[in-house]
């Protein structure tokens, strides 16, 4: 707001010199803007982890957690692992990623009953799982906020949100690319609000639009389907791509992985402790 020579005072019009203190207060209020939102407890803005290309990793989502694997990054289930398990990995100098399904409902999760039937779609190919109607952010945002807050409370460094490409599948809902972009960006914002890094899981076609919103990528089978070039925007931005193959031998993909600076593993579909790494040679 701009004042021309005089300001409103206690009388009809007061001289400018008599109202300087009032003017200074008004100018401060007009220019300072609203206060910034407080960061989540224990975090500060921009403090989240940013993994760089080439980091070795371990991905274990089933079986008893094996903390002895010599890898600087662990990706483990957020519900099934305790704060103590995360703290133990930190004592071993590991960064720890919290696996969550954000695009599909899982009947075996403790919050499963909080999802109304109206947001549950067709099965996604895994027993007890169904696609979510990601357009219903009025329902899903608070549920995902609670899950990601759980990861932060347990001490995780990052989130791996799974099933982030429903629009390319038969979900039972008329999802399109714009719906997916909006939802994936929402998940990234929630993670960052809680001081966590966040990875883009698969969703190759939208990497050019989404790379700026995410801190790393997680990819399955890009070598088998000859798609690994699609993840290079993350590498070019100095962000890690954690990559797993299930059916190809190391000799079939490690040379290309090294060329592209991917963090590549051979895993079994069960995602138990077993792994082979390109870092071990091939």
Beta strand pairing call for 263-266 and 57-60: unpaired
Helices (H) and strands (E) in the chain — how many of each?
7, 12
Q: Domains plus CATH for the chain?
A: 1-36 (no CATH), 57-280 (3.20.20.70)
Residue 38: is its pLDDT beyond 80? no
What is the enclosing helix (H) or strand (E) of 157? Answer: none
CB atoms near residue 176 (< 10 Å):
10
Q: Return the DSSP state at 263.
A: E
Could you report the per-residue pLDDT of 164-201, keeping only the tens digit for each? 999 999 999 999 999 999 999 999 999 999 999 999 99
Average pLDDT, the chain: 87
* Residue 46 pLDDT grade (very low, low, confident, very high; cuts 50, 70, 90): low
CA dihedral 202, 203, 205, 206 (to 10 degrees): -120
Q: What is the pLDDT of residue 47?
A: 80
- Backbone CA torsion sign across 204, 207, 213, 214: positive
Task: Give the global pTM.
Answer: 0.83
Q: What is the pLDDT of residue 27?
A: 34
What is the enclosing helix (H) or strand (E) of 84? Answer: helix 83-91
Could you report the per-residue pLDDT of 17-27, keeping only the tens digit for each? 333 333 333 33
């Amino acid at each position: 707001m701009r004042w021309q020579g005089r300001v409103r005072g206690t009388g009809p019009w007061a001289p400018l010199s008599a109202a300087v203190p009032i003017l200074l207060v008004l100018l401060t209020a007009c220019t300072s803007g609203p206060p910034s939102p407080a960061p989540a407890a224990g975090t500060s803005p921009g403090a989240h982890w940013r993994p760089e290309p080439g980091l070795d990793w371990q991905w274990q989502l089933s079986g008893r957690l094996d903390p002895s694997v010599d890898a600087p990054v662990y990706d483990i289930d957020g519900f099934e692992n305790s704060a103590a398990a995360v703290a133990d990995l930190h004592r071993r100098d590991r960064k720890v990623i919290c696996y969550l399904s954000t695009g599909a409902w899982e009947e075996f999760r403790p919050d499963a009953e909080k999802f109304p039937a109206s947001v549950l779609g067709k099965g996604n190919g895994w027993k007890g799982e169904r696609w979510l109607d990601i357009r219903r952010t009025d329902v899903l945002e608070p549920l995902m906020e609670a899950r990601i807050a759980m990861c932060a409370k347990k001490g995780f460094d990052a989130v791996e949100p799974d099933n982030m490409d429903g629009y390319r599948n038969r979900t039972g809902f008329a999802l399109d690319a714009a719906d997916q972009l909006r939802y994936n960006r929402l998940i990234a914002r929630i993670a960052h609000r809680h001081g966590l890094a966040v990875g883009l899981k698969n969703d190759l076609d939208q990497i050019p639009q989404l790379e700026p919103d995410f801190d790393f990528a997680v990819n399955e089978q890009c070598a088998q389907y000859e798609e690994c070039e699609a993840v290079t925007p993350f590498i070019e931005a100095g962000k890690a791509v954690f990559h797993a193959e299930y059916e190809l031998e190391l000799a079939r993909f490690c040379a290309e992985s090294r060329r592209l600076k991917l963090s590549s593993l051979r895993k079994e579909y069960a995602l138990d402790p077993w792994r082979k790494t390109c870092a071990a040679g091939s």
